[in-house]
Structure 1
Amino acid sequence: MTEDLDALAKELDRDHVFHSWSAQAGLDLPVIAGGSGTVVWDHAGRRMLDFSSQLVNVNIGHQHPAVVEAIRTQAAELATIGPATANLTRGRAAERILSHAPAGFQKVFFTNGGADAIENAIRMARLHTGRDTVLSTYRSYHGNTGAAIVATGDWRRMANQYARGHVHFFGPYLYRTEFWATSPEEECERALHHLERVIQSEGPATIAALLLESIPGTAGILVPPPGYLAGVRALADRYGILLILDEVMAGFGRTGRWFAFDGHDVVPDLITFAKGVNSGYVPVGGVIISEPIAATFDERVFPGGLTYSGHPLAAASIVAALDAMQSEGIVENARRVGEDAIGPGLRALEEKHPLIGEVRGEGVFWALELVSDRESRQPVGADVIGRLKKELVTRGLLPFTADNRIHVVPPCVVTDAEVEHAMAIYDEALTSVEGDGH
C-alpha cells in the first residue's frame, strides 16, 4: 500500500504539477511523505538525510515539535487576520526578529517570502532616497518577482527583464577572480575598486541602493574576504547610497550566526529575511527597517502591501522557531558543527577526490566546487552533476546542486554522527563518478 502511495504521488505530480526552473518532461522527483530533524522519508519508509534543507531553509529541522504546536495553537485561536489590524502574535514575531538585529532597527515589514521582501526593500530605498538605480552583483540570486529577478545576476534574469534601473557588477570570488588577484586581500581591494568605478560611472546621485547577499548562496556560497562588506558600507556612506543586505538564505543560523553579516563588521540600512526565520513551516519573509528609513513613512504613505503580511500562523511559527533556536543553542550548534565536523570532513574529501576544486563555507553553509581539471579549473558539466546527484540519492542523501557545485547545507540541528554518515555517502558517490571517468 505504501508503495502505491509513492506511485500515486509521482503520477499526480507528473500529470498536474508544473515545476519551477525545469523542463517538465522527464522529471523524476523523489517523493517526500514525512520528516524529522535532518531526515525525510517516502511513504514506503525509505529514509534520506536532508543535506539540502529543502531550499536551504529548514534551519531548525523538519517537524520541530514547538513550531508545529505553535502553528496548531494559533490556528485554533485565530487562523487568519488582515494586515490592517494589530495582532499580538504578529507584534511578538517582530519583537523577536528585532532582538537579533543590530541597534538602530525599529520596524519589520512582513511579506510572503524572500522575493517580495527584496521588492519592498528596493521600493523603500527608492522612496527614501528619491533615486532609482539599484546595483547588485552578477553572481547573485534575489528571487523570482519583477525587480528581484532583474536584480539577480545569473541567467534567470535574462527572460524576465521587465524592471527598470538595475546595474550589475562583479563581487569577490577569489577562486575564479575577475581581478587577477592572488590573495584574499588583493581580491577585496580590487573588487572594491571595481565597485567604486561602477558607482562613479553610473553617477552616484542616481543610485538608491547597493543590494548584496551577505554571503551569496545559490551563486556558490561565496564567503566575502575580510574587509569587503565593511568596504562596501564605506562606499555607500561616501556616496550617500543605502546598503541592503539580503539575508534570505544566509540568515537565522545558517552561518553559525544570527545574521551572516554579524561576522563582517557591517551594519546595513535594510535587511531582508525569509527562509530560516521559521524554517519555511509557513510562507513568510520581510524587511527589517532602520530608524531613518522607517521615519520616512511616519507622515508619508508607504505604497506597498500584501494580503497575508504578518499572517498569524506565520507569526506564531516565527516566535516558536526563534525561541527554540535560542533556548536549544541551535545557532551555536551550527557554528560548532561547521568548525568541528563539516569543514574538516569536506577538506578531507578534497584531499582524496580530484573532482573537488575548492571547498568553502562556514556554519552549515558549504559548497564543493567540482572541476574536471584542478589546474585549469574547468567546471564539470551537467552530466557529471546529474550522475553525482543520482548516486547521492541512491545512497540515501538528498543533495542541493547548483551549476558545477554540490552545496552541503544540512539543517542547523545536524549532529556530528549525521555529518560523518553524510561524508561517507559523498565519498562513495564521488568515488563512483570518478571511477566512471567523470
Structure 2
Amino acid sequence: MPIPQSAEGRKAYELDRAHVFHSWSAQASLDPFVFAKGDGSYLIDADGKRYLDFSSQLVFTNIGHQHPRLVEAIKKQAETLCTLAPAHAVASRGEAAKLITDRLPDSLNKVMFTNGGADAVEHAIRMARLYTGRYKVISQFRGYHGATQQAMNISGDNRRWPNDYGAGATCRFFGPFLYRSVYHARSEEEECERALEALENLIAFEGPEAFAAIILETIPGTAGFMPPPEGFLPGVRELCDKYGIVMILDEVMVGFGRTGSWFALDQFDVTPDLVTFAKGVNSGYVPMGGIGLSDDIAHFFDERAYPGGLTYSGHPLAAAAAAETLKIMADEKIVENAAHLGNDVFGPALAELQDKHPSIGEVRGRGAFWALDLVTDRETKEPLSPYGTVNEKMKQVLSVCTANGLLVFNNMHRIHITPPLNLSDEDARKGLAILDNALSVADEFYVGAK
C-alpha cells in the first residue's frame, strides 16, 4: 500500500512499522493500511479515501463502524464505572448475560465471559473435561478455533502446523464438504451419512470412554464457509448422547446474526451443551467472548468451584457494549436484514457471477457470510492458490478490490464476503460490481474448459 501523504498518516505508519509486531505476518514485508475513521459500512484511510468494508475486519463489526448508539453506551458506562473485578456484580454484565441467554436455546441459561473467542474455547474444553472426567477432544479438519495453545491444537487447518506439538489429546475427522469431499459422495445425503459414519468409527477406535467433548464450528468460517448438510449436526448430537460426550458448538464467527439468524445453530435443529461466542456479540468495539452453559453443566459447579477465570471477565465496558449491541440489532432488525441480504441480494448476485466467471468453482454461504472458491479448472477443482498459501495470482485479484475501494476477507484461494449486517442493498451492489471486475483477473488464470 502507498505510504500515506498526510503528516498524521505518515507518523502513524512510521510508528507502526517501528514498534508494532503484527500477528500472522512476516514483519519485514508488511505494508499495512493506515485507517483514521469509520463510518457505517466504510473505513476511511489517513488520506481520506473511503473503502467499503466487505470483511467486517475479522468478521466482527456486525453493526458497522462507529454506530452512534453503541459509542454513546460505551461513553455512558465509562463515566460511571470503567472496570471491575469479575467476582463482583455490575448491571451491564448481568444485562448482557441475560440478553445473550435469551437468544440461546432454552436449556442454556448461564454465561461465562472471556476476553475473546480463543479463551472461550479453552474454558469450554476445560469445563467439558471436568464435567465428564474424561480428556480427549474431537474436532474436524477444515476448522479453526483460535490461536491460544489448546485452541490451536484442536484446530484443523495449516495455521496449526508450526504451533502444534501433539498436545491436547485431539482427534480429528473430516466433516461434510461435498464440493471437496474425501468420502466420494454424490449427494449431500451421502456426504452427511459418511461423515457421521467416519465420526462414529473414530470414537469407536479411539475409545468411547475417553472423549470429553466434540467441538465444531456450526458453519466452518475461515476454513471456507461450508454449511453442513441437513441432519449432520443432529446426527452429531445423537452420537454425543450415545457416548456421553459434551457437544460444543463454536459460534465465534457465525453468532449474533451473521448467517441470518441470531445463532447459526438456530438453522440446524440442534441444541449443544456449550456454545462459544465472541466477535459479533458487541461488534468488536470492546474485546469480549464467552461461553453459554447448559443447565446441567452450570449446576455441576454449584457446589464445587470452577478452577479458572480471567482478570477482565465480563469487563463493564465490553458488557455495556454487548448489551447495547443486542438492543440495537433487535430495534433495527439487523438480523432480518442479514437474512434479506443473503436471500435477495448476495445469493442471487453471486450465482450470476458464478455463471459469468469460470474461475468461481463454487459459491457457498448464508446471510452475510459467503465464500467464493476460486479455481483454475472447474473439473479438477484445482484451487487458484495452493493450500496454505496466498500466491501472486490471488494477490493480483485482491489488489483490484483494494485499488477500487473494497476490502474483502481472504483465505488462500477463497474470497469471503462478510460485510456489516446492516449493509444497504445499494452498497452491497456497489461492492459486488467491484468484485465482478476483480474476478476478471482470476479468469485470466483459468485453464480449464469454459
Report TM bin, short chain: over 0.9
CA apart distance, 1:6:
2.2
| CA RMSD between the two structures | 1.2
* 1:384 to 2:388 alignment: no
* Partner residue in 2 for 1:373: 377
For the 8 Å contact 1:385–1:401, the answer to whether it is kept is no
**CA-CA distance at 1:437 after TM superposition:** 6.7
Alignment counterpart, residue 421 of structure 2, candidates 399, 412, 416? 412
Once the two structures are TM-superposed, the CA of residue 2 in structure 1 deviates from its matched residue by 6.4
2:170 to 147, 166, 173: 166
How far has the Cα of 1:8 moved from its partner? 2.2
Residues 1:202 and 2:211 are matched in the alignment: no
Aligned with 1:367: secondary structure? strand
Residue 421 of structure 1: aligned partner: 430
Of stretches 200-209 and 160-169 in structure 1, the one that deviates more from structure 2 is: 160-169
Classify the secondary structure of the residue corresponding to 2:27: coil
* Distance (Å, rounded) in 1 between the aligned partners of 2:163 and 2:438: 36
Q: Give the deviation of 1:5 after TM superposition.
A: 2.2
Answer yes or no: is 1:103 the counterpart of 2:106: yes
1:231 pairs with 2:235? yes
Equivalence for 2:83: 80
| Aligned equivalents of 2:157, 2:441: Cα separation in 1 | 31
SS of residue matched to 2:292: strand
TM-score by length of 2: 0.96
User: Which amino acid in structure 2 is aligned with residue 426 of structure 1?
Assistant: L
Aligned to 2:255: 251
CA contact (8 A) 1:209 1:241 kept: yes
Decide whether aligned partners of structure 1 residues 142 and 436 sit closer, same or farther in structure 2, where only a CA change above 3 A counts.
Answer: closer
- TM-score in terms of structure 1 length: 0.98
Structure 1 CA distance for aligned equivalents of residues 154 and 240 of structure 2: 18
CA–CA distance in structure 2, aligned partners of residues 331 and 124 of structure 1: 30
Q: Which amino acid aligns with 1:407?
A: H
Quick one: which amino acid aligns to residue 167 of structure 1? C
Contact 1:137 1:152 in 2 (8 A): yes
CA distance in 2, matches of 1:386, 1:239: 46
- 1:87 deviates by 1.1
Residues 235-314 of structure 1: matches in 2 within 5 Å?
235-314=239-318
Within 2, Cα distance between the matches of 1:371 and 1:216?
A: 20
Answering whether residue 429 of structure 2 is matched by residue 434 of structure 1, we say no
1:357 is aligned, of 329, 353, 361, to 361
Question: Partners of 1:278 and 1:120 in 2: how far apart?
Answer: 20
In the TM superposition, residue 192 of structure 1 has moved relative to its aligned partner by 0.6
**How far did 1:15 drift?**
1.6
Secondary structure in 1 matching 2:270: coil
Counterpart contact for 2:110–2:294, Cα < 8 Å? yes
What are the ranges of 5 or more consecutive residues in structure 1 without an aligned counterpart? none
Write the distance in 2 (CA, Å) between the matches of 1:180 and 1:428: 35
Query: How far has the Cα of 1:435 moved from its partner?
Result: 4.1
AA matched with 2:345: A
Matched, 1:152 2:155: yes
Alpha-carbon distance between aligned partners in 1 of 2:446 and 2:128, rounded to the nearest angstrom: 51
- Listed as ranges, the gaps of 5+ residues in structure 2 are 386-390
Tell me if structure 1 keeps the 8 A contact 2:154–2:168: no
- Give the corresponding residue for 2:17: 14
The equivalences for 1:42-57 within 5 A come to 42-57=45-60
Matches of 2:21 and 2:247 in 1, distance apart?
Answer: 36
* d(CA) in 2 for partners of 1:379, 1:435: 14
Looking at structure 2, the residues matched to 211 and 417 of structure 1 have their Cα atoms a distance apart, in angstroms, of 38
Letter in 1 for 2:253: M
In the alignment, the residues of structure 2 paired with residue 229 and residue 241 of structure 1 have an alpha-carbon distance, to the nearest angstrom, of 14
Give the residue type in structure 1 aligned to 2:269.
Answer: D
The percentage of counterpart residues that share the same residue type is 55
In structure 2, distance between residues paired with 1:232 and 1:107: 23
Q: Tell me, yes or no, if the aligned pair for 2:396 and 2:441 is still in contact at 8 Å.
A: no
Counting only pairs closer than 5 Å after superposition, residues 30-49 of structure 1 correspond to structure 2 as: 30-49=33-52
- Retained in 2: the 8 A contact 1:132–1:208? yes
Could you tell me how far apart the structure 2 residues matched to 1:436 and 1:416 are?
Answer: 31
Question: Whole-Å Cα distance in 2 between the matches of residues 361 and 11 of structure 1?
Answer: 39
3-state SS of 1:254 partner: coil
Contact 1:40–1:48, Cα closer than 8 Å, also in 2: yes
Looking at structure 2, the residues matched to 409 and 385 of structure 1 have their Cα atoms a distance apart, in angstroms, of 18
| Compared CA separation, residues 313 and 237, structure 1 to 2 (3 A) | same
* Post-superposition offset of 1:134: 0.5
Equivalent positions of 1:323-338 (< 5 A) are 323-338=327-342
SS in 2 for 1:84: coil
Asked if 1:322 corresponds to 2:331, the answer is no
Q: Which amino acid aligns with 1:157?
A: R
Question: Residues 48-71 of structure 1, C-alpha deviation per residue, up to 9 Å, x if partnerless?
Answer: 100000000111111111111110
Contact kept? 2:53, 2:407, Cα under 8 Å: yes
Matches within 5 A, 1:335-354: 335-354=339-358
